Structure 1
């Protein structure tokens, strides 16, 4: 998803809010999942994803994780799938947009709703978060998608299958 150009640099509050959101993800959520599920067998799975052809969902996940110097976490890889499938990066803003999308798409888990609550720190993003929520409502449900099932599939047909592009076009009409 293209980033809208920022018209003004972030003020100190906005910078602090984004650092808080990033800290919640990297120092709280990810370590909890690592502690709960460990990191067993992720090296083999991540190596497999790297062998998939470019343009596949699994290769996109491997490339995204490599770009951010992260590794797969068991029971969290399906979240990473959604980053790639839906075109969200791993910035604080995109994490919030992804959670807004997923809430609109029917994922009202504690993780989604709880992380989205951090959006209260970013009132300048509220209109965008609302738009991503609506986009999620207009897209076929993906909350139960598993990386193990879809890794070898080409990304573009999957996006068309869920109505990804139609949901974006629907925003222009709203």
Structure 2
């Protein structure tokens, strides 16, 4: 497999986004996140961005007040994962315009869409920013979805509500 998990964490150690590509129980996830986040936040800028923990190799990078952590298999290329993290941040920058912690908190579903466009089942499948953004909650797919919901679903729901009000 390749990528096992992706975490976005702020400087205080609060997880802002967690995406797992393998099954772990909630308790295992909580313990894993706590241990890895403590290890990464305790390191200084002069140390390398690779940490081995349990059976994972964690590659992390800090951008402003956020840490981007990616847990991978031990045989994965660390520099390629650093490049993936940079691509992810550049993609979010292009979408949000200088992405910050609040953008991720208030638009969590959009960030998840971007991540799902880039990674499938732990493998990086898309690296083109132009291909990632149109499908990630603001492009053609998103517009078609909103068109369908607004044209068919909401009028139907209004009709149902009107019908229920008339009966009562």
Bucket of the pairwise TM-score, normalised by the shorter protein: 0.3 to 0.5
Q: Between Structure 1 and Structure 2, whose CA radius of gyration is higher? A: 2
TM-score by length of 1: 0.31
TM-score by length of 2: 0.32
